Amino acid sequence: MVNDIIKDNIKLGSRLHTIASFVPLGSKLADIGTDHAYLLVYLIQTGTIKSAIGVDIHKGPYESALETVKMYGVAQRVDVRQGNGLIPLRSGEIDTLVIAGMGGTTILEILQSNPQVLAEASKAILQPQGAEARVRKELTVQGWRIKDECLIEEDNRVYSVIIFTRSEGLDYEEIENRIRNIGDHFRKYILQQKLKIDTDLMNEKLDHFIKKYVWILGPINLENKDAHLQSIIRENMINLDNIVQGMAKTSREETKEKAKLVEQERKLLEVMQRWLFQ
């Protein structure tokens, strides 16, 4: 039986739609972990990209991608391959990468899987789910720059989208400078508000706190005061509350000391939330 080809543009949810909006016109794109290949079909239908390669490691998603490109009549223009990370790609085939909907650690492993192809990519649009700080830090240490970032809500969950390029945006040094700058402003705010914060917490611990959370929350998200930062900060506070609760069950002095540090971090997060959004 021959199924009719769907002529309408495929509809993307807000997360994939945001990712699509960062794909440069005319790019040669690979979507790693493409699953259903919705993103690639949309980008071909809208004339955004020249060529598209979708890679997925698992048979089910690979077959589902083949099915989608057939259904939308774009099988000649979207090359679907089964394999691990960047390994199925050859030199000269792509200039832009999308890796979305996976843990940050998996994304970093995928990026390491084919150094030659990675070296030819000038843009990487990443949407890690967890380990966002590691992704930002490791890529900027490797010479990538953060060109843009945003937070997007879909189905009551907030996702980070981070755009890395080779030549535009914040490099590692510039992010470290921002960290110092944000630290100075945050310290001033605490003093102005006459908040009761321990002296040791105001000194080196505050620097450590700011460093940790700029990498977690994102330097551009912080600059933009992205409203969804509030949910991410809240999520981090809940995690810290759970850690403190777990630690409260023990009578060991060492653990009690650690719990105090976690409580201090929790307090600073609350102050940061107020500083950013009050």
Please report, as ranges, the residues that interact with ligand SAM according to CB under 6 A.
16, 32-35, 55-58, 61, 84-85, 100-102, 106, 110
What is the smallest separation between the CB atom of 80 and ligand SAM, expressed in angstroms?
A: 12
What is the smallest separation between the CB atom of 143 and ligand SAM, expressed in angstroms?
A: 23
Nearer to ligand SAM, 35 or 132 (CB): 35
Question: What count of Cα atoms within 13 Å lies in the side-chain half-sphere of residue 271?
Answer: 25
Token digits of residue 4: 């009719």
Nearer to ligand SAM, 35 or 149 (CB): 35
Nearer to ligand SAM, 85 or 219 (CB): 85
Token digits of residue 230: 């509030």
What is the smallest separation between the CB atom of 187 and ligand SAM, expressed in angstroms?
A: 39
Nearby residues of 123 by Cβ (< 8 Å), 6 or more positions away: 24, 27, 95, 96, 97, 147, 163, 164, 165, 166
How far apart (Å, rounded) are the C-alpha atoms in residues 119 and 82?
22
Q: What is the DSSP code string of 138-181?
A: HHHHTT-EEEEEEEEEETTEEEEEEEEESSSSB-HHHHHHHHHH
Nearer to ligand SAM, 106 or 160 (CB): 106
What is the smallest separation between the CB atom of 29 and ligand SAM, expressed in angstroms?
A: 12
What is the smallest separation between the CB atom of 61 and ligand SAM, expressed in angstroms?
A: 3
Helix 172-192 / helix 132-141 crossing angle, nearest 10 deg = 130
95 burial via Cβ count (<10 Å: 0-12, 13-18, 19+): middle
What is the smallest separation between the CB atom of 85 and ligand SAM, expressed in angstroms?
A: 4
Nearer to ligand SAM, 17 or 187 (CB): 17
Contact 147, 163 (CB under 8 A): yes
Nearer to ligand SAM, 83 or 183 (CB): 83
